Structure 1
Amino acid sequence: MPAAHPTPPPPQLPPPNAPAAAIIAPHSETSSLLRKAHSQGWNCITVSLPPHALPLTLAQDPPTIDTAQSLTHKSMRRTAKALRAHGIRAVIPGSPLSIALALSDQLAQELHLPGNDPETSQLRCDRGAQAAALTQAGVVAPRSLRTTNLSDALRWAHLCRLPAYVIAPASTAASGLARTARTDEEISRAWRQLRRTAHHRTGGRNLVIQEALPGPQYILHSITSPDEDRPRHTITEIWSSQTRTIPLGRPVAQGELIARTLSRYARQVLDVLEVEAGALRSRIVCAPGQGPTLLSARVHPAHSLRHTTAPPADAARCSFRTRTQRHTCRTDRPPLELFAGGLR
């Protein structure tokens, strides 16, 4: 009889005086990242939402997060006070839901830590808002309509007279739900199927109908760092993906022509979406005759901690200005690296 494999010991928690990061509205997949972060000397504190603030699907089956330190968000003042007492040095979105509720951005602002403007959070979590902002800024975007009303969607489709449409939840917190439709009957069927699902998965009732664009699709991961004059956008990974439903395809080398074209467009997108700090996952299609076009952009739990740093408490302060406010950051930051499968 083969010998049983011993159970690995639980990961050691860092000392109490280790740098601390707050993980906001964590997803169940966040657990593996937290364990690795602990092993690298981080104190991670999760901030969970109360059941009444969660979409129905999450309220019925809340994520189980393996961390010794956690708190439940009840009010901005109380949560910020609790995190301040822990000496938090970074606020990290644990899921797209934390952006949809603007909670991560508001807490970063309250704690005077790098983050994005809470007034523009919708730009980073809503397909309809993203397409509208890009169009207004003169950046290529799909024609789309964001609405809760099926009659409005059908009326818009009649005006556009496009070969095909994509129906999806407006919130990017829900992925893998998009449906392609060509006729009024197909649009209506997809709309009725997605309306309830979107509400249960995201808490919102808005859907988006947009033109279906042919062409290869790509996933871009980006990191934005604050700077004195303007944020620095770095495209860290590009993956090819021929459809919305298959796993990521091959990695695209940064030196390839398509990578340079996608990166140039993605930086324009990040500026329009007013990304000042943090990680974003963008899905872009290269449509014939149109070029790179954003389909959606969102925080991805597996990349939330990419390059996030925990500055020492006595590090020198430096300041940088966002579009609407002044934050405070610190220098001499040891990087926390993460690759597509987790922390390293």
Structure 2
Amino acid sequence: MTAVPLIANSPAEPRLVMPGGKVAIIAPVDGDTRLAQEYRAQGWRCVAVRLGGGHAPAPGHLPHRSGYGEEFVHDEGLRHTLERLRVSEVTSVVAGSHRGVALADRLAAELDLAGNDPATSWLRTDRGVQAAALRDAGLSAPRTLSTSSLTQALKWAGFCGMDRFVLASADSAVPLEPALCRTTTELRDAWERLRAEAPRHTDDPEFVVQEHVPGARYLIDTVSGPVERHPVVVGLWRETLTEDGLHQRTDAVPGTDPHARSLKQFALRALPVLGIGLGPARLHVALAPGSGATLLRAQAYVQEGPTGPLHGHACDPVRAAATADVAGLVRPVALPRRFTTRMTLAAGDDGFVDARVLRRLRSLPAVAHVCPGLTAGAPVRRTVDEASSPGHVVLDGQDRRTVEDTYRSIRLMETGGLYAGA
């Protein structure tokens, strides 16, 4: 078998990885084996390393049924986990979620495998640190205070005199929506709400207060392989929110979009500042007219694209990440020419899903996928955030008008009987 040279943590020390290797996926999301499936489809074996407090395979459980050939829990210290991985002869270490980023960096370095510098893991996980790093590098990021003190947050917001500001967990991967605040009362209320909810997603006790950045929101998915380490944009999406910050829709940005080039260039400048030289990343960016792109937060682990694995490589960051690791490099990806939208549904009140209207929705011409939870008779709550949404629908087509007509039809259905009793 022929070895393939690659660049490891230290560019001065090349290492070798064999084709048909084995990847350790650190802290994978329970029940999500998509990344492992993509590696296995390309001839690699997979090891799941779960964090302490997770679950080991139950007695009699066959690991391959969970999507992995091997599983164990990282609960006996770094030395023990390193020994397990050496015995398993892993050739790559990747994060399976935000909780695995720092540990994956450390394990890869200790095993002399390709990875990002563990000394800068905090650049890839902390909103406040990310904002400071980009501003120091001459790139745009919002003014930010990192703090665990509500008193400090209130003082800073008042001192800056901002009309609107945002409160969020300092952990850049926490899925809770940032709270848009206009007054100190709103900031107090948001602080108490996030302080109660954030511990379910992160151990980081800090929050960030940031100036509100106007403009369109974009998601930029990138990946780079261990041989050339040239990042490639593999997905570009525009998000549309309500005035209150609720998600409405996410649209795939076609290559013909006038902002696609500038957003790609911004991403390629920001990645090295954040210490992301290898593997997948997702940048959340605001683009205001006349002022260019501003980084809101960055995440350095693979995530499913907004529409899932439904529409091929151009919008499939999971497949792209596995392919880059296996092949060692990334081929340029053409952004799609189709029009693809993920719309988040919203109920005006409590109720249940009407079967007749749901059948009409499913028959609309651009509907490509309806989330499994949207079923006839399913209860719905009044939508106040993405977590309380009845679900989502993916629209897809070669004609923009058809997609937009379908989108408008579904919004009319939401106020015209889709949620019976609402």
Please tell me whether residue 173 in structure 1 is matched to residue 173 in structure 2: yes
> By how many angstroms is 1:335 displaced?
7.5
Alignment match, 1:202: 202
> By how many angstroms is 1:151 displaced?
0.8
> By how many angstroms is 1:289 displaced?
3.8
Cα distance change on mapping 1:311 and 1:289 into 2, 3 Å? closer
> Quick one: which amino acid aligns to residue 289 of structure 2?
P
Cα distance change on mapping 1:90 and 1:305 into 2, 3 Å? farther
Alignment match, 1:149: 149
Specify every segment of 5 or more residues in structure 2 that has no aligned partner in the other structure, as ranges. Answer: 1-18, 56-64, 305-316, 343-422
Alignment match, 1:78: 80
1:118-137 map, 5 Å: 118-137=118-137
> Quick one: which amino acid aligns to residue 322 of structure 2?
T
Cα distance change on mapping 1:309 and 1:35 into 2, 3 Å? closer
| CA distance, structure 2, for counterparts of residue 253 and residue 140 of structure 1 | 24
Alignment match, 2:25: 23
Cα distance change on mapping 1:222 and 1:333 into 2, 3 Å? closer
Alignment match, 1:7: none
Please tell me whether residue 306 in structure 1 is matched to residue 320 in structure 2: yes
> Quick one: which amino acid aligns to residue 211 of structure 2?
E
Of all paired residues, the percent bearing the same amino acid is 34
Cα distance change on mapping 1:276 and 1:112 into 2, 3 Å? same
Spell out, residue by residue over 1:281-326, the C-alpha distance to the aligned partner (whole angstroms, 9 max, x if none).
Answer: 11101123422111111124334563435989xxxxxxxxxxxxxx
> Quick one: which amino acid aligns to residue 273 of structure 1?
L
Specify every segment of 5 or more residues in structure 1 that has no aligned partner in the other structure, as ranges. Answer: 1-16, 54-63, 313-331
Aligned residue pairs, count: 292
Alignment match, 1:139: 139
> By how many angstroms is 1:336 displaced?
11
> By how many angstroms is 1:66 displaced?
3.9
Give the TM-score normalised by structure 2. 0.63
Alignment match, 2:231: 233
> By how many angstroms is 1:337 displaced?
12
> By how many angstroms is 1:196 displaced?
2.6
| CA distance, structure 1, for counterparts of residue 325 and residue 100 of structure 2 | 23
Alignment match, 2:214: 214
> Quick one: which amino acid aligns to residue 278 of structure 1?
G
Larger RCO, structures 1/2 (Cα 8 Å, 6+ apart): 1
1:1-344 map, 5 Å: 18-28=20-30, 30-51=32-53, 65-73=66-74, 74-99=76-101, 102-226=102-226, 231-243=229-241, 245-246=246-247, 249-298=250-299, 299-302=301-304, 303=317, 306-308=320-322, 333=328
| CA distance, structure 1, for counterparts of residue 206 and residue 325 of structure 2 | 40
Ranges of 4+ aligned residues in structure 1 off by more than 4 Å: 309-312, 332-341
Q: Superposition RMSD on alpha carbons, in Å?
A: 3.0
> By how many angstroms is 1:197 displaced?
1.6
Give the TM-score normalised by structure 1. 0.77
